Each structure stands twice: as structure tokens, then as C-alpha cells.
Amino acid sequence: MYSDLVLEHFSNPRNVGSIPDADGVGLIGSSICGDMIKIFIKVKDNRIGDIRFQTFGCGAAIATSSMITEMVKGKTMEEARGVTNEAVAEALGGLPPGKMHCSNLAADAMNKALDDYEGKGPRKSRKPLIDKGFGVRGGREMPSEEMKRPPER
Ligand code: FES
């Protein structure tokens, strides 16, 4: 059963959308369910000045995406890295055991956006944006220009 807070964030998600001139973008997908989360960050004075997300996934994935954006906005890079999937789930009043992987997605996507900003991500190192180890079959490297383009409608 979902908490009231999960249902509230699912019904009224915060910070949905993209940042066209993002300083960092992180995309992660799950082999368990096929859901995907993409997080965009804009950095100002070593803090997350703005953060947006696009989630193709379940209600828990949307709620955890929404919650993590609220938790890390205004934080330094180091502070943001300290926000774990367990902390996100806890802030939402808990998740059903079978849905804990949904909060992993949100935390991993946020960390990938931080990696991207800090130059360890695919734009500099050409590492695949979609972590094949995490299980997205057929994941491919996404050129930075493609990442910046708004999603097709
Ligand atoms: S079931 Fe896929 S992220 Fe929740």
C-alpha cells in the first residue's frame, strides 16, 4: 500500500519537465520493469539551482522522481550525492518492498546527472548514458546534442 505522500507526489509531481541548457543530464532505465527516468540539473554557485525530471514509469517512480528533486534542490553537489534511495523512500513515508527499485532509479539518475556535470559522464568520457549493467538491453550512447533536444511530441 502506498503512503499518502507517495499518492500526493504522484498526483501532483514537482519539477516535471526538462532544462534545455542543462549543465548535467542523467538517464537510467530498469531491466526489472523497463521504466526510465531522466534528470536535468542546472548548477549555480556549486549548488543545484534547478532540477527537472521526465519519468516514463510507475506511480512510485514518478513520486520518487518528484521527491528527489525537492530534496536536492539548493544543495551542493556533495550534499546531493548523500541523498540515497533509502532516504527518498523514507521521505515519502516508505515504499512497498516490491517498489524499492523505483527509488533506486531516481537516485541513480540524479547521480548520473551529477557525474555528467562533473565531467565523468558520457559527454566527456563517452560512457554509455544508459547503464547496460543496470540492465537496459540494447542501451546506446546518446550524443550530447540529442540529449539537449526536447522530447518529440
Ligand atoms: S515499477 Fe518500474 S520504476 Fe516502478
Has residue 12 been placed in a domain?
yes
Phi-psi region of 33 (alpha: psi -120 to 50; beta: other; left: phi over 0): alpha
Write out the E strands in the chain.
Answer: 24-29, 36-44, 47-56
Q: What is the mean pLDDT of the chain?
A: 84
Has residue 22 been placed in a domain?
yes
Has residue 108 been placed in a domain?
yes
pLDDT of residue 30: 87
Kindly list the protein residues whose Cβ atom lies closer than 6 A to any atom of ligand 1: 30, 33, 35, 57-58, 60-61, 99, 102, 105
pLDDT, tens only, 8-47: 999 999 999 999 999 999 999 988 888 999 999 999 999 9
pLDDT for 77 beyond 80: yes
Q: How many CB atoms lie within 10 A of CB 4?
A: 9
Has residue 31 been placed in a domain?
yes
Burial-class residue 63 by CB neighbours within 10 Å (0-12, 13-18, 19+): buried
pTM above 0.85, yes or no: no
CATH number at residue 68: 3.90.1010.10
Has residue 90 been placed in a domain?
yes
Domain total for the chain?
1
pLDDT of residue 132: 43
Please tell me the distance from the alpha carbon of residue 99 to that of residue 138, in angstroms, as a whole number.
24
Has residue 8 been placed in a domain?
yes
pLDDT for 117 beyond 80: yes
Cα 123 to middle of ligand 1, angstroms: 27
Mutate to test the pocket of ligand 1, among 2, 6, 10, 35 (most ligand atoms within 8 A of CB): 35
Confidence of residue 101 (pLDDT cuts 50, 70, 90): confident
